[in-house]
Amino acid sequence: MLRWEKIEEGAMLLHSTVISLVPPYSFERLLRRLETHPDPQLFVDTEASTLRRAFRVGTRPVLASLQFAGSTEEPVIRLNTEATLSPAEQQLLEKTVRHMFSADQDLTPVYEHMRQSPEMAVLTERFRGLRFFLDSDLFQSMVKTIIGQQINLAFAASLTQRLLELAGDMMEDTDGRTFMAFPTEEAVARLEPDDLRPLQFSQRKAEYIIDYARAIVNGTIDLDRLWQMEDEEIVAYLTSLRGIGRWTVECLMMFGMGRPDLLPAADIGLRNGLQLVFGLADKPDEKEIRRIGAAWTPWRSLYSLYIWEAVGAVRRKEVWE
């Protein structure tokens, strides 16, 4: 565990620690990706290379800033918070940040594998240091995934923000900016679908989210167990809940857990990306994606991320050669 420092700043006590990441890590590429993947919980200061966010440390909301202070080849994040934290809370917050930034992901074997394909080799150079920016916890990840079912990213972000405003915890920083900590399982479990319908949640989407929260609160689902399960065990365990299918669980494993070998073959973004990257005449169907993706094992999640990023780069009008 890294040592936390206590630094006096006027009347405020600042807890600060430095987190090293396995290189390469591209903070610039993360910021680019956030342009097309809005997150209502994040305040991004591009000039200061800083993200600010309210985290849950246990059930307690804590506001922290994450400053990228290194380079792609020597990546370092300085984690700062003005909250008074116990040693156990400091460790938990640091663990959460390391998880979100995929701090221990070694891209070397992934790139060696990708370079076997000329099309993917180009992406390893163009997007060097890109890795998953994961959800902070599995409850939040599943709720966001259910919200995102069959709607576009912008509308999903709007619905997520409305849920945060309804049931989350509000915090302000010293500049008066408002931050929202994601609602707890208990807070969502207390809701009724009629609470979410005025916020433009469909009846079923509202029911699925609340049912999921209640399953955790009443002990039907134990999220901590997932970390000891194989992928297919997780799929079987969670698809027992209404409204949660294989695609939803695969998204949880990719964006919440960082599992490396998942292929969301039904995803429209992956279809568009494969057509773009591999120069296909038509968009591949699910069967064709599974055929192409068979060669990507054991890194199918990372292949998918880089292909998605190619689509994002085009949408952001980055120069594409």
What CATH number should be reported for the domain holding residue 14? Answer: 3.30.310.20
Q: What is the pLDDT of residue 153?
A: 83
* CB neighbour class for 247 (10 Å; exposed up to 12, middle 13-18, buried from 19): middle
181 within 8 A of 169, measured Cβ to Cβ: yes
Q: What is the pLDDT of residue 2?
A: 41
Beta bridge partners of 179: 171
In a domain, 233, yes or no: yes
In the chain, pLDDT over 70 holds for what percent of residues? 95
Residues 142 and 247 in one domain: yes
In a domain, 57, yes or no: yes
Is 267 part of the annotated catalytic residue set?
yes
127 within 8 A of 306, measured Cβ to Cβ: yes
Residues 245 and 142 in one domain: yes
In a domain, 200, yes or no: yes
What is residue 71's three-state secondary structure? coil
Spatial distance between the Cα atoms of 293 and 265, rounded to a whole number of angstroms: 9
Q: What is the pLDDT of residue 203?
A: 96
Look at the chain and report how many structural domains it folds into.
2
Residues 35 and 95 in one domain: yes
In a domain, 284, yes or no: no
In a domain, 224, yes or no: yes
Query: Which one of 104, 127, 158 terminates a domain?
Result: 104
What CATH number should be reported for the domain holding residue 223? Answer: 1.10.340.30
Among the listed residues 218, 219, 217, 192, the one whose alpha carbon sits nearest the alpha carbon of residue 207: 192
Q: What is the pLDDT of residue 238?
A: 96
Give the tens place of pLDDT for each residue, 168-225: 999 988 888 999 999 999 999 999 999 999 999 999 999 999 999 999 999 999 999 9
- Structural domain including 77 reads 5-104
Q: Kindly give, in sequence order, each residue whose CB lies less than 8 Å from that of residue 88, ignoring residues fewer than 6 positions away.
A: none
Q: What is the pLDDT of residue 319?
A: 67
104, 267, 282, 285: the active-site residue: 267
Residues 173 and 72 in one domain: no
Beta bridge partners of 65: 52, 80
In a domain, 308, yes or no: no
In a domain, 192, yes or no: yes
In a domain, 24, yes or no: yes
What is residue 137's three-state secondary structure? coil
Q: What is the pLDDT of residue 11?
A: 42
Tens-digit pLDDT profile for the chain (321 aa)? 344 455 444 444 567 899 999 999 999 999 888 887 878 899 999 889 999 999 999 889 999 999 998 899 999 999 999 888 888 999 999 999 999 999 999 999 999 999 999 999 999 999 999 999 999 999 999 999 999 988 888 899 899 999 999 999 999 888 889 999 999 999 999 999 999 999 999 999 999 999 999 999 999 999 999 999 999 999 999 999 999 999 899 999 999 999 999 998 888 889 999 999 999 999 999 999 999 999 999 999 999 999 999 999 988 888 655
What the block records as the tokens of 99 is 């998880």
Query: Which one of 256, 278, 309 terminates a domain?
Result: 256
What the block records as the tokens of 321 is 């050669």
Among the listed residues 47, 272, 64, the one whose alpha carbon sits nearest the alpha carbon of residue 171: 64
Q: For residue 181, which phi and psi values (nearest 5 degrees)?
A: -85, 140
Residues 247 and 167 in one domain: yes
Query: Which one of 256, 289, 312 terminates a domain?
Result: 256
